[in-house]
Structure 1
Amino acid sequence: MVGNLIREVRFLAKDSGALFWLALAFFLSVIAVSFGVAEVRDQQETIATLIEEDAADRANALKGQEDWGGAAYYAFHLTHAPPSDFAFAAMGQRDSSPWKHRVRMLALEGQIHEADTRNADFGLIGRFDFAFLAASVAPLLLILLLYDLRAAERSARRHDLLVATAGSPVQLWLPRALVRVVALSALLLTPLWGASIIVGTSPDIVSKATVILVGALLIWWLIVELVSRINASPSVLLTSLIGFWLALAIVVPALSKAAIEARQPLPNGGEILLLQRETVNDAWDLPKEATMTPFLKEHPEWSDHATFETAFEWKWYYAFQQVGDQKAAPLVEQYRSARLVRDREAGLIAFLSPTSFVERSFEKLAGTDAASMIAYEDSVRDFHKQLRAFHYPYLFRDEPFDRDVLKGLPAYVPTP
Structure 2
Amino acid sequence: MSLFSFELKLFWTNRLNKWLLLTYLVAGVIAIALSQAKIERELDHYQFSQAHYQDDIQHYRDQYDKNQLLPGYMGYYLFHPVSQTPQAWSAIFRGELDETATHLRVRLLGLQSQVNATAPGNVDAQRFGQFDLSFLWLYLMPLLIAAMSINVLADEKNTGRWPMLVAQVPKGTRLIFRKMTIPALMVLIVNIVLLVVATLITSISLDSNWFGVLAQIILYQLCWWFICGWIVFLNKEASFNYLSFITIWLVFTFVVPGLAYLYQIQQQDAGKDAAIVFEQRQYMNDSWDKDKKADFAAYLALFPQWTPTAPLGDDEFDWRWYYGQQQMSDVIVADLVSQRHQTQLASYQQGQAFSWFSPVMSMQYGFNRLANADTLAKLDFNQQIEQYHQQIRHFFWSIYFPDKAFEEADFDEIPAFNYSSNIGSGLWQSLLKLLVITAVFAALMWQQLHRFHEH
Band the TM-score falls in, shorter-chain normalisation: over 0.9
193-202 or 175-184: bigger deviation: 193-202
1:279–1:324 contact (8 Å) kept in structure 2:
yes
Report the Cα distance in structure 2 between the residues aligned to 1:336 and 1:306, rounded to whole angstroms: 37
Q: How many residue pairs get matched?
A: 415
Partner of 1:236: 240
| Residue 265 of structure 1, CA deviation | 3.2
Quickly say closer, same or farther: Cα 1:401–1:30, change in 2 above 3 A. Answer: closer
Q: Are 2:247 and 1:247 equivalent residues in the alignment?
A: no
Q: Percent identity?
A: 24
Whether the aligned pair in 1 keeps the contact of 2:220 and 2:359 (CA below 8 Å) is: yes
Q: Which moved more, 1:194-203 or 1:42-51?
A: 194-203
Q: 1:18-57 counterparts in 2 under 5 A?
A: 18-57=17-56
Q: What is the aligned counterpart of 1:332 among 331, 337, 346?
A: 337
Q: SS at 1:105's partner residue?
A: coil
Cα RMSD of the aligned pairs, angstroms, is 1.8
Amino acid corresponding to residue 390 of structure 1 in structure 2: F
Q: How does 1:230-309 map to 2 (within 5 A)?
A: 230-305=234-309, 307-309=311-313
Distance (Å, rounded) in 1 between the aligned partners of 2:49 and 2:71: 25
Residues 99-154 of structure 1, C-alpha deviation per residue, up to 9 Å, x if partnerless? Answer: 11111111111111111155223234421111111111111111111111111001
For structure 1, the residue ranges without an aligned partner over 5 or more in a row are none
d(CA) in 2 for partners of 1:306, 1:169? 93
Residue type matched to 2:224 in 1?
W
TM-score computed with the length of structure 2 as normaliser: 0.87
Alignment match of 1:174 (pick from 168, 177, 180): 177
For 2:393, the aligned partner's letter is R
CA distance in 1, matches of 2:109, 2:408: 20
Find the residue that maps to 1:106 and give its secondary structure. Answer: coil
Which residues in structure 2 correspond to 1:6-405 (within 5 Å)? 6-61=5-60, 63-64=62-63, 66-117=69-120, 119-203=122-206, 204-305=208-309, 307-309=311-313, 310-405=315-410
Cα shift at 1:299: 1.2
The alpha-carbon deviation at position 300 of structure 1 amounts to: 1.1
Q: 1:339 to 1:266 in 2, by over 3 A?
A: farther
Partner of 1:412: 417
Instruction: Give CA-to-partner distance per residue, 1:197-223, whole Å, 9 cap, x none.
Output: 232313222222221122111111111
Q: CA deviation at 1:306?
A: 5.8
CA distance in 1, matches of 2:194, 2:118: 35
SS in structure 2 opposite 1:101?
Answer: strand
Comparing 284-293 and 340-349, the one that deviates more: 284-293
Is the Cα contact below 8 Å between 2:150 and 2:232 reproduced in 1?
A: yes
| CA distance 1:74–1:351, shift in 2 (3 Å) | same
In structure 1, the residue corresponding to 2:180 is in which secondary structure? helix
Deviations 1:152-198 (A, max 9, x none): 00111222322332211342122221111111122133123212223
Query: SS where residue 121 of structure 1 aligns?
Result: helix
Q: CA deviation at 1:338?
A: 0.8
Listed one character per residue, the Cα deviations across residues 363-405 of structure 1 (whole Å, up to 9, x for unaligned) are 1111111111221111111110100111112111112332432
The answer to whether the 8 Å contact 1:90/1:363 transfers is: yes
Scaled by the length of structure 1, the TM-score of the pair is 0.95
